[in-house]
């Protein structure tokens, strides 16, 4: 099959939401309909019996939340679907933001009872800035929640998205009867007893059908017909070009835990979602149908399989064909590398592949050569844009709690920092290690993973800091003067870059006034 045909078969998208909106459950049901899994896990906080396929870290299973991005690939209707399931919790937003650089479109999951929540707003803002095509799935229709029109208004006002419903619910909660697909012009009946499969779905071709009246009851049937008139009168018709430009957002309703509305979402998605898009590098724009392979690392994860202590770089292919046992140019290291066992993902399950195409995400086994943002090419020097590293907001001293495990502690800390979930600074004067994170839950994850994956224990001490800022100065004399006078406030990151640890906004202003030739940056280039 030609390169163009292979690329056009790819659909690579992320699923994002506020915690508990049902994002991981929706991911499971998409995999279920795609035939990638046979039994979906029941994702229930602290009561997990069959764990969600996409939550592969032990701490995720215990807490019932996703704390790392999972990648899952499966074939569906002669297409190759690549799902990136992201953490919903705000303490892991950095991982989610980086993942959004690797997808071509997004499905946003919203809880019908809670509506638009804070984390959803932040994630959608990132998508909007990138003009990423968005589909909204309003979940948990089998529970009581907000009015369908009120939800659409909330999405438009709070997320600043122009919406058009492609399905519409009849009833809600105890009265939920099903949804009508405006995209396929059919009604799908909701069976309230237990989980649904394809045989329990009743399809009705017309909204005037008497059978629909019997299923819904007269009151809900009339309400539904009135709602549909309003939908056609108020909201624009679906236009794929507007959707692909990020100007129009299709909305679907359903209940992921009951498998309901998910197939309709998936069938519509594969029809309208974009094929792999071009990517901007500092040097030029890279097109997916270019013959030469290029791509970037957007995530690193250690110990996906704790038995083998593996370290895997998640690599998004931007152009061409990635082939096994082929030499590629590592741009940052300026040397050739090749991979004997590149893998595709099914959450924690991995499978060695011989080739992959633009749009695919492959796992590359890594012994420390990769950092987040690294590029591989067939010789050209390319630096892909838009992979953020955030300035930490919370800081703690970290100490080795078991002196006999010094090597395990050092190795574990180094590898976990390479994953990008936190940043490590070493004080200039005392040589004490400091961890900086975006959200406090990351401290628990680091502590847990150090113990269970590396056999090391750590302890924390509180540390009040306002900001960590990367220091830059073109005048060596001025820089040396700054270093001598502010030595107690200086540290170095894991790459050896100098960082000012300001204990207050007042201290920062004072330093900036006293050293006008020294620049302080809130982010560091990855």
Burial 280-319 (b: 16+ CB within 10 A, else e): ebeeeebebbbeebbbbbbbbbbbbeeeeebbbbbbbbbb
Helices of type H across 66-143: 93-99, 118-129
**Does residue 159 carry a pLDDT above 80?**
yes
- What fold characterizes domain 279-377? Elongation Factor Tu (Ef-tu); domain 3 (2.40.30)
* Residue ranges, CATH 3.40.50.300, the chain: 3-272
pLDDT at residue number 216:
79
CA-only gyration radius of the chain, Å? 25
Mean pLDDT, rounded, for 469-496: 90
pLDDT at residue number 478:
92
**Cβ–Cβ < 8 Å for 400, 391:** no
Q: What CATH number was assigned to the domain covering residues 3-272?
A: 3.40.50.300
Mean pLDDT, rounded, for 47-53: 40
* Residue ranges, CATH 2.40.30.10, the chain: 279-377
**Cβ–Cβ < 8 Å for 447, 453:** no
Q: How far is CA 460 from CA 163, 259, 323, 436, in A?
A: 47, 44, 44, 12
Q: Which residues contact 439 (CB under 8 A, 6 or more apart)?
A: 89, 90, 91, 92, 93, 393, 394
Mean pLDDT, rounded, for 152-168: 93
pLDDT at residue number 49:
35
**Cβ–Cβ < 8 Å for 19, 88:** yes
Mean pLDDT, rounded, for 451-468: 90
Q: Which of 60-69, 237-246, 314-323 is predicted least confidently? A: 60-69
pLDDT at residue number 67:
38
- What is the pLDDT confidence band of residue 43, given thresholds at 50, 70 and 90? very low
**Cβ–Cβ < 8 Å for 338, 295:** no
Question: CA triplet 378, 383, 384: central angle to 5 degrees?
Answer: 105
Q: How far is CA 353 from CA 79, 288, 339, in A?
A: 17, 20, 11
**Does residue 52 carry a pLDDT above 70?**
no
**Does residue 407 carry a pLDDT above 70?**
yes
pLDDT at residue number 360:
92
Highest average pLDDT, of 79-88, 156-165, 379-388, 435-444, comes from 156-165
Three-state SS for 275-289 is CCCCEEECCCEECCC
Select from 1.10.150.110, 3.40.50.280, 3.20.20.150, 3.30.70.3280 the CATH code of 394-521: 3.30.70.3280
Q: What is the pLDDT of residues 83-112, one digit of tens each?
A: 887 764 454 456 677 788 889 999 999 999
Task: Give dist(CA 290, CA 408) in Å, integer.
Answer: 44
Q: Which residues contact 387 (CB under 8 A, 6 or more apart)?
A: 98, 101, 296, 298, 372, 373, 526
Mean pLDDT, rounded, for 399-427: 87
Task: Give dist(CA 21, CA 159) in Å, integer.
Answer: 16
Strand order in the sheet with 178-181: 167-170, 178-181, 186-189, 203-204
Nearest C-alpha neighbor of 391 from the set 473, 304, 466:
466
- What is the pLDDT confidence band of residue 521, given thresholds at 50, 70 and 90? confident
Torsion-angle region of 88 (φ positive above 0: left; ψ -120 to 50: alpha; else: beta): alpha
Mean pLDDT, rounded, for 282-294: 94
Percent of the chain with pLDDT over 70: 83
- Mean pLDDT, the chain, as a whole number? 82
């Amino acid at each position: 099959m030609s390169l163009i045909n292979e690329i056009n078969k790819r659909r690579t998208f992320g699923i994002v939401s506020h915690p508990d909106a049902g994002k991981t459950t929706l991911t499971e049901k998409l995999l279920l309909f795609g035939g990638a899994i046979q039994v979906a896990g029941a994702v229930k906080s602290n009561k997990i019996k069959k764990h969600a396929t996409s939550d592969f870290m032990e701490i995720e299973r215990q807490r019932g939340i996703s704390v790392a991005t999972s990648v899952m690939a499966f074939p569906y209707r002669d297409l190759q679907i690549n799902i990136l399931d992201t953490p919903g919790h705000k303490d892991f937003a950095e991982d989610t933001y980086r993942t959004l650089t690797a997808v071509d479109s997004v499905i946003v999951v919203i809880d019908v009872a809670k509506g638009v929540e804070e984390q959803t707003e932040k994630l959608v803002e990132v998508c909007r800035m990138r003009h990423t095509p968005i589909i909204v799935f309003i979940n948990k229709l089998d529970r009581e929640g907000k009015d369908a029109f009120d939800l659409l208004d909330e999405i438009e006002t709070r997320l600043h998205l122009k919406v058009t419903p492609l399905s519409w619910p009849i009833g809600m909660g105890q009265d939920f009867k099903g949804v009508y697909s405006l995209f396929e012009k059919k009604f799908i009946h909701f069976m309230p007893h237990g989980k649904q499969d394809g045989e329990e779905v009743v399809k009705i071709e017309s909204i005037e059908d008497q059978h629909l009246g019997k299923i819904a009851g007269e009151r809900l049937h009339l309400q539904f017909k009135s709602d549909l008139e309003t939908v056609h009168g108020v909201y624009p018709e679906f236009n794929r070009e507007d959707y692909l430009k990020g100007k129009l957002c299709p909305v679907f309703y359903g209940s992921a835990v009951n498998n309901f509305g998910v197939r309709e979402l998936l069938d519509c998605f594969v029809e309208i979602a974009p094929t792999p898009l071009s990517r901007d590098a500092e040097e030029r724009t890279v097109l997916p149908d270019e013959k030469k392979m290029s791509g970037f690392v957007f995530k690193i994860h250690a110990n996906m399989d704790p038995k083998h202590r593996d370290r895997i770089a998640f690599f998004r292919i931007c152009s061409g064909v990635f082939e096994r046992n082929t030499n590629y140019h590592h741009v940052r290291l300026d040397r050739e590398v090749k991979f004997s066992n590149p893998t595709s993902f099914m959450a924690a399950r991995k499978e060695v592949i011989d080739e992959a195409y633009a749009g695919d995400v492959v796992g590359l086994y890594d012994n420390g050569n990769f950092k987040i943002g690294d590029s591989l090419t067939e010789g050209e020097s390319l630096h892909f844009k838009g992979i953020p590293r955030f300035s930490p907001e919370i800081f703690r001293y970290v100490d080795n709690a078991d002196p006999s495990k010094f090597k395990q502690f050092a190795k574990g800390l180094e590898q976990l920092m390479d994953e990008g979930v936190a940043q490590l600074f070493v004080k200039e004067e005392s040589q004490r290690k400091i961890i900086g994170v975006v959200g406090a839950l990351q401290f628990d994850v680091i502590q847990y993973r150090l113990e269970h994956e590396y056999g090391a224990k750590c302890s924390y001490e509180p540390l009040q800091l306002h900001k960590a800022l990367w220091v830059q100065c073109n005048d060596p004399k001025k820089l040396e003067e700054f270093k001598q006078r502010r030595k107690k406030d200086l540290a170095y990151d894991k790459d050896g870059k100098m960082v000012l640890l300001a204990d207050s906004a007042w201290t920062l202003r004072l330093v900036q006034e006293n050293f006008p030739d020294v620049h302080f940056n809130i982010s560091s280039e990855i």
